[in-house]
Structure 1
Amino acid sequence: MVTSRLGKTRFRVAGTAEFNGYNRDIRAARISPLIAWCRAHFPGMSTRQCVPWAGLRPMMPDMLPRVARGKNPRVLYNTGHGHLGWTLSAVTADAVAALATACSNAA
């Protein structure tokens, strides 16, 4: 479960991830536990206006991002981090920098 303020009057709650292709449909069964969690932990907070939202995040079936050169050696890919984008950002940035440096040194 992850929570954060969203502006002065809103509260964001996230806690689900699933392989579902390019699909922004959100099942009520996925939202209900989040609302119940809010009611249990923040009893004074109104859950009357809930805005379901899907943040599509490219991910690979093995959950490992792809950091590689494209067919054109000047094109570098850094994608597929899924819900671990922030967690893996520093290490994949190092990998991209190493590829970019190797590419510019070879040119």
Structure 2
Amino acid sequence: MEDITVEQLKSRLDNNEKFVFIDVREEWEYEDDNLGAKNIPLADLPTRLDELEEYKDAEIIVHCRSGARSGNAKKFLESKGFTSVRNTLGGILAYRNL
């Protein structure tokens, strides 16, 4: 699935569109600045997959600080059978610059 730009993400959030939204930053990063996503740090993702099982075929958008960790999360989720995972290009750093 194609990745998503911060402009596209902002538009979708502003329009209250339905998708599963996951922030893979550490908890302290999430507390400092969050967009309303479910916080599952990248390192915890393998042990918390059961929380996402019902969304295997739903659109999932992941984000982090710069797009690197969320890119890894996307690859991991796809390897576990998730079919519609999108990485937020540029992460929260790019989002802040909108």
TM-score (norm 2): 0.28
Structure (1 or 2) with the greater helix fraction: 2
TM-score (norm 1): 0.26
Specify which structure has the bigger relative contact order, considering alpha-carbon pairs within 8 angstroms and separated by 6 or more residues. Answer: 2
